[in-house]
């Protein structure tokens, strides 16, 4: 039912956008794009249980951009589906389908066009999440952009949150960073709970003359599980975050005084199925090498993916553990509690196809 509600809401949003677009009284945008995309990877475990399994991520969405001199406003919404990917349970015996409806509002400064021709050269970028949806479309004739954004995520398993982002673009290079905590939580753009899509960023190298096409995209994304007050308690105690399964053991002990489901709900405020009570903490590094379009009349990219997915923690012996996740690096060097992570590490290889339509 939650998935149906999200699909219905997204359909209504898309219909409203198309209705507005059809009105000829006023052009309320400089760029309007409709995008679809799919990423399919083969994940090869090399840590823990051996095995190879497929993963899929897909999306549909719209993005609008409007310039007011040196100011830029951007709005977008997309519906994303992912399975056996970052944000999913990665154990082979578990199966979960996640659906995110992400709505973004972004604003910032842009330099004036240095070669105005009346026909902008558009560049496609993103500023959040592990999907390939380009939620920022910018005028390539403008040499510099700096954009601040806020993103509202609604999930079919109640993983709802607010995340902030910062995006900087100079010529053919874009850099972005997003987080639900510092510094965005201090200025009201992040909810500050340190949960779910807790942080990430990336670099995008844009093609110098092909519309919407990127040559290389490198990104880091982090998904963090959540138990109410666990992170705050760990900070007070000066320890790492406790294993989330601790509450499962407590629930079993307390089962005589009430149902396990009721006990878990009271303690965690989480009433999902057992699969979704597992530790979803995982990190991902991803490199996309885009080869271009399959048709000269179709914008977007067809590309190759390679990356790493999992805890990105490697233990040679009980006394020697190495951390390769960017989030772990930040937490260790900032004396912040580490989240528990038992995600199996895997190498992912696959392809992505993301056509962009701007003449509907």
Is residue 23's pLDDT more than 60? Answer: no
User: What are the backbone dihedrals phi and psi of residue 279, each rounded to the nearest 5 degrees, phi first?
Assistant: -75, 115
pLDDT at res. 263? 41
Is residue 26's pLDDT more than 90? Answer: no
The share of the chain scoring above pLDDT 70, in percent, equals 71
Average pLDDT over residues 272-291: 71
The tens digit of pLDDT for each residue in 75-90 reads 999 999 999 999 888 8
Most confidently predicted of 32-46, 118-132, 181-195, 329-343: 32-46
| Burial classification of residue 114, based on how many CB atoms lie within 10 Å of its CB (0-12 exposed, 13-18 middle, 19 or more buried) | exposed
pLDDT at res. 279? 54
pLDDT at res. 267? 36
What is the pLDDT confidence band of residue 10, given thresholds at 50, 70 and 90?
low
Q: Compare 307 and 326 and report the one with higher pLDDT.
A: 307
Q: Compare 218 and 292 and report the one with higher pLDDT.
A: 218
Q: What is the mean pLDDT of the chain?
A: 80
Rounded to a whole number of angstroms, the CA Rg of the chain reads: 21
Most confidently predicted of 15-19, 63-67, 130-134, 180-184: 63-67
Distance (Å, whole) CA 104 – CA 39:
22
The share of the chain scoring above pLDDT 90, in percent, equals 41
Distance (Å, whole) CA 155 – CA 62:
18
What's the half-sphere exposure (Cβ side, CA atoms, 13 Å) at 225?
Answer: 27
Q: Which residues are CB-neighbours of 251 under 8 A, at least 6 positions away?
A: 260, 263, 264, 267
Average pLDDT over residues 29-46: 92
What is the DSSP secondary-structure string of 77-120?
EEEEEEESSTTS---TT---EEEEEEEEEEEEEEPPPSS--SS-
Most confidently predicted of 118-122, 207-211, 249-253, 338-342: 207-211
Residue with tokens 């993005």: 63
User: What are the backbone dihedrals phi and psi of residue 104, each rounded to the nearest 5 degrees, phi first?
Assistant: -125, 145
The tens digit of pLDDT for each residue in 55-67 reads 999 999 999 999 9
| Burial classification of residue 113, based on how many CB atoms lie within 10 Å of its CB (0-12 exposed, 13-18 middle, 19 or more buried) | middle
Is residue 33's pLDDT more than 80? Answer: yes
Average pLDDT over residues 104-124: 85
The tens digit of pLDDT for each residue in 149-192 reads 999 999 998 899 999 999 999 989 999 999 998 889 888 899 98
Is residue 274's pLDDT more than 60? Answer: no
Q: Is there a contact between 198 and 224 (Cβ–Cβ < 8 Å)?
A: yes
How is the chain split among helix, strand and coil, in percent rounded to 5? Answer: 20, 45, 35
Query: Would you give the DSSP letter of residue 327?
Result: H
Average pLDDT over residues 255-270: 43
Q: Which residues are CB-neighbours of 256 under 8 A, at least 6 positions away?
A: none
What is the pLDDT confidence band of residue 211, given thresholds at 50, 70 and 90?
confident
pLDDT at res. 130? 74
Sign of the Cα torsion 246, 252, 253, 259 reads positive
pLDDT at res. 347? 94
pLDDT at res. 53? 86
pLDDT at res. 12? 54
- Go through the domains of the chain in sequence order and give each one's CATH number: 2-226+280-357 (2.40.160), 230-277 (no CATH)
Q: Is there a contact between 57 and 131 (Cβ–Cβ < 8 Å)?
A: yes
pLDDT at res. 297? 59
């Amino acid at each position: 039912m939650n998935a149906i509600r999200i699909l219905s809401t997204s359909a209504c949003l898309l219909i409203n956008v198309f209705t507005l677009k059809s009105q000829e009284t006023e052009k309320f945008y400089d760029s309007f794009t409709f995008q679809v995309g799919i990423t399919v990877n083969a994940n090869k475990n090399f840590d823990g249980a051996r095995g190879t399994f497929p993963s899929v991520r897909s999306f549909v969405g719209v993005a609008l951009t409007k310039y007011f001199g040196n100011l830029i406003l951007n709005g977008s919404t997309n519906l994303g589906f992912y399975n056996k990917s970052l944000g999913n349970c990665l154990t082979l015996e578990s199966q979960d389908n996640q659906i995110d409806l992400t709505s973004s509002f972004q604003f910032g400064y842009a330099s004036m066009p240095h070669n105005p021709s009346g026909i902008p050269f558009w560049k496609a970028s993103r500023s959040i999440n592990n999907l390939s949806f380009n939620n920022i479309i910018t005028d390539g004739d403008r040499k510099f952009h700096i954009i601040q954004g806020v993103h509202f995520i609604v999930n079919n398993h109640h993983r709802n949150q607010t995340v902030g982002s910062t995006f900087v673009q100079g010529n053919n290079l874009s850099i972005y960073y997003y987080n639900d905590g510092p510094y965005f939580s201090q200025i009201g753009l992040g909810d500050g709970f340190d949960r779910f899509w807790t942080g990430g960023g990336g670099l995008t190298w844009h093609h110098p003359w092909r519309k919407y096409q990127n040559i290389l995209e490198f990104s880091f994304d982090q998904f963090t599980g959540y138990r109410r007050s666990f992170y705050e308690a760990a900070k007070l105690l000066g320890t790492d975050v406790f294993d989330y399964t601790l509450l499962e053991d407590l629930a079993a002990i307390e089962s005589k005084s009430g149902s396990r489901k009721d006990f878990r709900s009271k303690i965690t405020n989480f009433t999902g199925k057992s699969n979704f009570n597992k530790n979803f903490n995982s990190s991902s590094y991803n490199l996309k090498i885009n080869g271009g379009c399959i048709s000269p009349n179709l914008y977007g990219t067809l590309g190759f993916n390679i990356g790493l997915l999992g805890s990105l923690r490697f233990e040679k012996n009980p006394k020697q553990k190495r951390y390769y996740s960017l989030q772990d690096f930040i937490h260790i060097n900032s004396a912040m509690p580490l989240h528990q992570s038992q995600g199996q590490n895997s190498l992912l290889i696959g392809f992505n196809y993301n056509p962009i339509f701007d003449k509907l």
